[in-house]
Copies of this chain bind each other. A is one copy, B any other.
Amino acid sequence: MREIKVGILGFGTVGSGTVKILQDNADAISARIGAEIVVSRVAVRDLTKPRDVSLHAPTLTTNPQDITDDPDIEIVAELIGGVEPARTLVERAIANGKNIVTANKEMVAKVGHDLRIAAQSSGKDFFMEASVAGGIPIIATLGESLAGNQVREIAGIVNGTTNYILTKMTQEGAAFEKVLSEAQSLGYAEAEPSSDVDGYDAQYKIAILASLAFGSRVNVEDVQVEGIRHISPRDIVVAKELGYRIKLIATAQGSPNGMRVRVNPTLLPLKHPLATVDGVFNGVFVRGDAVGDLTLIGRGAGSLPTGSAVVGDIIHCARNIVAGATGRVPYMASHDLPMLPAASSWSKFYARVRVLDRPKALAAIATIFGDHDVSIESVIQRAMPDEEAEIVWVTHEVREQDVHAALATIHALPVVRSVDTALRVME
């Protein structure tokens, strides 16, 4: 049986999962391709580090160019992460005629366009299923199964750490900081958690999905991002009472006029298929003009689930190699759709305001909302300790800038103690 040699850059969580799957399911994978996958070289930083997965010693190298420059290697799996040195190595591998499989969301989001053009020019594959939502096949679904659709909207829970934290806060009523430190001790959150809890990880992922869904370049810095540090247990309780769950949602909406791509903590009605995606699970909702609503739910991280996506891409690429058909799917980001300003977008909003419990506070706030064309769907006022009251507003679909202008004016009212939170609400 024909052999196809794979070189792997990086042997951390994803790299070891990838090698384990290729070893454990070797026979089935060979049959499914009609060729044998051989991991011929793995580039690591430290040859002596103990590892879960055993490889023949000569397979390991500390020199990544042993992979990018090896004429026998046909597929390079880049599993290092971060822009450099990954980008330079991938560029070099493409220049040397390799097909690329990558799990690197940051590299794909920031410089994927140029890399994909380069791969396309040399007639090679550039696959990146593992860069978004771990084992969930959202990239293949967008690029292949839904290729007959115009995608209108994507909404995703694409960061497991924040979903775990919000789920725990919902189940236990605990504060963000407490759950974060628990998550850190369990290994579900990094010691430096900003990339997750401030939404940057989700920002990369939704930039990638938007570029695929709308066939356009997306500048990561233009993706508005809001994290979950300001979500309080009180917000979660109030949202629950109203029939909602709070999730960190990455959304992309597209039309011929432009795109809106953003990451925000959002209230989802319990009926929404993402509302019950809990814990470290990820979920991606897609609305297409033909398929309608489609939701994919699965494990968004971890050695084997992410390795499953990498191995799926390696098999896809190997089948193309056997058929002489690498590069068979044209790279599509041919448009440069403008990013529409968030301020002009429409959404329902939830706002929680604390006031001195004076009879006129409700009327004063309602008047300001009215003056700003913010129409109200529901209001709940409740007495709180210290002669305060809490007023929770849910608006109809309104313009985002109108809500923010109204809340700024409301914040300045003497009867208002604080505007605790303002969050988007999804239908």
Residues of A within 8 A of B (CB): 17, 21-22, 24-25, 28-29, 31-34, 129, 135-137, 140-141, 144-150, 215, 273, 276, 288-299, 302, 304-305, 307-309, 311-312, 314-316, 319-320, 322-325, 327-330, 332, 334
User: Which residue of B136, B330, B332, B334 is within 8 Å of A294 (Cβ)?
Assistant: B136
User: Which residue of B33, B297, B312, B332 is within 8 Å of A273 (Cβ)?
Assistant: B297
User: Which residue of B22, B316, B328 is within 8 Å of A323 (Cβ)?
Assistant: B328
Question: In the complex, what distance in Å separates the CA atom of A291 from the CA atom of B135?
Answer: 5
Question: In the complex, what distance in Å separates the CA atom of A21 from the CA atom of B309?
Answer: 29
Q: How far is the CB of A360 from chain B (nearest CB, A)?
A: 43
User: Which residue of B34, B140, B307, B311 is within 8 Å of A140 (Cβ)?
Assistant: B140
Question: In the complex, what distance in Å separates the CA atom of A136 from the CA atom of B291?
Answer: 8
User: Which residue of B22, B145, B323 is within 8 Å of A137 (Cβ)?
Assistant: B145
The residue of chain B having its C-beta at the shortest distance from the C-beta of A136 within the complex is: B294
The residue of chain B having its C-beta at the shortest distance from the C-beta of A283 within the complex is: B295
Which residues on B sit within 8 Å (CB–CB) of A28? Answer: 150, 215
Query: Besides A29-B147, A144-B315, A324-B324, 19 other CB < 8 A contacts?
Result: A17-B290, A21-B149, A28-B215, A31-B215, A32-B329, A32-B330, A137-B144, A140-B140, A141-B141, A144-B144, A144-B312, A145-B309, A290-B311, A295-B295, A295-B296, A319-B328, A319-B329, A323-B327, A325-B328
A and B contact pairs by CB, cutoff 8 A, 27 listed:
A22-B148, A29-B147, A31-B330, A31-B334, A34-B330, A129-B145, A135-B292, A135-B294, A137-B137, A137-B146, A140-B144, A140-B145, A144-B144, A146-B308, A146-B312, A147-B316, A148-B315, A273-B297, A288-B308, A290-B311, A292-B299, A292-B302, A294-B297, A294-B299, A295-B297, A295-B298, A325-B325
